[in-house]
A and B are shown apart, each in its own frame.
Chain A
Amino acid sequence: MGKRSVADLNPGESGIIKGFSDNVISLKLMEMGCLPGSTIKMNFAAPLGDPISYYVAGYNLTLRTSEASAILIE
């Protein structure tokens, strides 16, 4: 199995952020509270599967799947 990312989480499932696969976007995501070591929970996806709503750092954040797959989890 390859690297698991936040985009692989199912609704209600949580993961712990390990790192990022894209340097540029990682800064923006970290500023938004997606820090390595913190827990991120998948809330629900939009009806067409994309974007996806997550719960992280105490609020709801939506990401496109391309952005979510840049966040790697343990």
Chain B
Amino acid sequence: MERIRNVALLGNPNSGKSSLFNQLTGLNQKVGNFPGVTVEKKTGICSLNNGEKLKIVDLPGSYSLYPRSLDEYVVFNTLLDKNNPEHPDLAIVIIDASNIKRNLLLFTQVTDLGIPTILVLNMLDVATNRGQRVSPTQIGKSFSTSTISLNARTGQGVELLKKAISKNIISRPTPIFNSSDFENGIEEEIKKNFSIEKDFIARILLIQYENFPGISDEERKLIKDLIRKKKFNPELSQSKEILKRYEIIDKVIHEAVVYNLQKNRNLTEKLDKIFTHRIFGYVIFLGILFLMFQAVFAWAQAPMEFIDYSFSEISVFLKSILSAGVLTNLITEGVIPGIGGVIIFIPQIAILFAFISVLEETGYMSRVVFLTDKIMRRFGLNGKSIVPLISGVACAIPAILATRTIGNWKERLITIFVTPLMSCSARLPVYTILIALVVPEDYLLGFLNIQALALMGLYILGFVMSIISASIVNLVVKAKEKGYFIMELPLYKLPRWKNVGITIYEKSSTFALEAGKIILAISIILWVAASYGPGDKVENAESYVSASLKDGNIDEKDFEAKVDAFKLENSFAGIFGKALEPAIKPLGYDWKIGIALVTSFAAREVFVGTMATIYSIGSEEESTIKSRMAAEINPDTGQAMYTPAVAFSLLVFYAFAMQCMSTLAVVKKETNSWKWPILQLFYMTGLAYLCSLIVYNIFS
């Protein structure tokens, strides 16, 4: 069988590369990571009309082959390492025809590597609107390359591209750039020593020898000596190369593009006057934020309730048809609620990423980055940190994945570190019940609901703490590389709904798989820990409870609830909660709250369910749990257990503590080390402890 051909898709950011990728592969995509780095790798299968299947690799958008960011290193390694499994047999370079000069730079570099290349001219319509008439045939002739013009948004021309690929007549290109007039033979020596055929590959090895794939230390030394002997200045040489390439490009453009400058001033300029206005700019941004939160919390409510209801119905149904036993209990009390606990977040995540994807597609997100960069920079963050921080309000996991767009490692790390401090939706049920317990349902000045204010206060608290923490991390962490901001402000466009749909699908499924595995595993472990204990106390709970009752006059429901509470108290989880008591007593908590803190490790909202079990109430109705918690007496004081001091202390604890295994796992994956998740766990939990201690002592 013939090997599947690899096709690499290359282009500048905003050149329509993702749209073309979606056009070629549809939903036949796989998202993963490039080995060793945390850059997102998208591959897909494209079927040609002659039945051949191709593997398309969507390489990260880049401006040049000389790498400066993580993304660009991925492109570099894929193209220069012949042993890389993604090393292309064919390269497709897509360029934005309305911005042809800068886009062609990458194309000339890829061509010089000697990989067969097809040049795709995209956005010719935009170029025409801006008064530029581009001739694809002339460009193809000038570079002697197969050139296809297409519209990646509508898909027009994609068939032509597929035909060009299937013909397989794309010849090895002739080099465009030649450095012989300013390098005194150093490249020839590299070519000879390393038996390299292409001038440009030798040149890249010379300039990038420290990062070049598959080069041994001795070979590095050899190049280093050669550079010293020949007095080679890599920076000067590179700047000469850039100038030379642009000179060649200018010549081609001169023949292939006709500029008609009389054409209309573009819409983008007018829109930018509004969207980056010193007042309206921020008002519009806050308005969009408000709409987004409104959508995430209000629109997601119905589907979330439906999911919640369906999963509890499934549990009840399975319990009724399966024979009673350990396995049935594991499925109905561990596995099914575990899966439900993952699925329930999908509506919020889907809505959030629908918004974010539309904002990115239209080009507005770049303006938000532009508006907020200066503010964020003060705290060691980047304008691009705003997207992860906003996403953190739904769930920290997709938010942390969204930090991949931040090119600077330090700024990205700080963003990852502080994002979990934003109050995610799993904290909301905990906030709601505790606020309802101790904050009076009064109105301030007659119209401001105090409970709502308290809730808003907690969200602000989370945001403020993440900003403060960013400043702290900023002082501690040393920068590995110099941070650039250099960013293109793309033209405003209407969103491509196909791209939006694919983003929603992809983010939701990544979340379900990444977080799902862990939440499910933890739910099962917790279920075991809460259902079993040492000795026979859990197993024979019924007889222990009836023995402790003085008279047998208790109705069945109360008895069952008492048995459940007794079981939990004597289970492994209960024992652990009791062991925790000395540590959490200064915060005002008892061992029962200790159990809830332990179970919250799978997902914070488990707090509510655990409270229901601990206080032996049959139903999970919020009002019942609330009244039961309100009636709880502290045995030491004889007063109510949940004083405002205890409740506020708990609220602050839940706001700051790192109680999410899935987040830690994602941080581990994204930072490629255990160091950051462990630091995050201790920092956040330590912060939670300290702040709760302070709050408890102030209020009691």
Contacts and interface: CB of A to CB of B under 8 A. Distances in A.
Contacts of A44: 272, 276
Nearest to A48: B374
Of A29, A33, A50, the most chain B CB neighbours within 10 A belong to: A33
B63 interface: yes
A53 B484 contact: no
Contact of A62 (B100, B235, B246, B489): B489
B486 A28 contact: yes
Interface residues of A, number: 31
A63 interface: yes
Contacts of A61: 486-489
Given A27-B235, A30-B243, A58-B102, A48 B489 contact: no
A58 B484 contact: no
A68 to B, nearest CB: 10
Given A24-B482, A27-B66, A47-B282, A58 B101 contact: yes
Contacts of B375: 48
Contact of A28 (B68, B246, B383): B68
Interface in B241-278: 242-243, 246, 268-269, 272, 276-278
Contact of A58 (B99, B246, B276, B281): B99
Nearest to B250: A35
B101 A33 contact: yes
Contact of B277 (A35, A36, A47): A47
A29 B482 CA distance: 14
B488 A60 contact: yes
A13 B173 CA distance: 42
Interface string B368-379: 001101110100
B320 interface: no
Nearest to B235: A23
Nearest to B234: A27
B486 A32 contact: yes
Contacts of B68: 28
B580 interface: no
A69 interface: no
Contacts of B370: 46, 51, 53, 62
Contacts of A8: none
B238 interface: yes
Given A28-B68, A62-B487, A35 B63 contact: no
A50 B370 CA distance: 8
Interface string A33-53: 101100000011011111101
A25 B667 CA distance: 31
B485 interface: yes
A47 B268 CA distance: 18
Nearest to B96: A59
Interface string B472-512: 00000000001011111110000000000000000000000
22 contacts: A23-B235, A24-B235, A25-B484, A27-B66, A28-B68, A30-B243, A31-B105, A33-B102, A46-B276, A46-B374, A47-B278, A53-B272, A53-B276, A58-B102, A59-B99, A59-B102, A59-B488, A60-B488, A60-B489, A60-B490, A63-B486, A64-B377
Given A46-B374, A51-B373, A59-B99, 12 more contacts: A28-B484, A28-B486, A31-B242, A46-B373, A47-B277, A49-B374, A50-B374, A51-B383, A61-B488, A63-B485, A64-B485, A67-B484
- The 5 A-B residue pairs with the shortest CB-CB distance, nearest first, are A47-B278, A60-B489, A48-B374, A33-B102, A64-B485
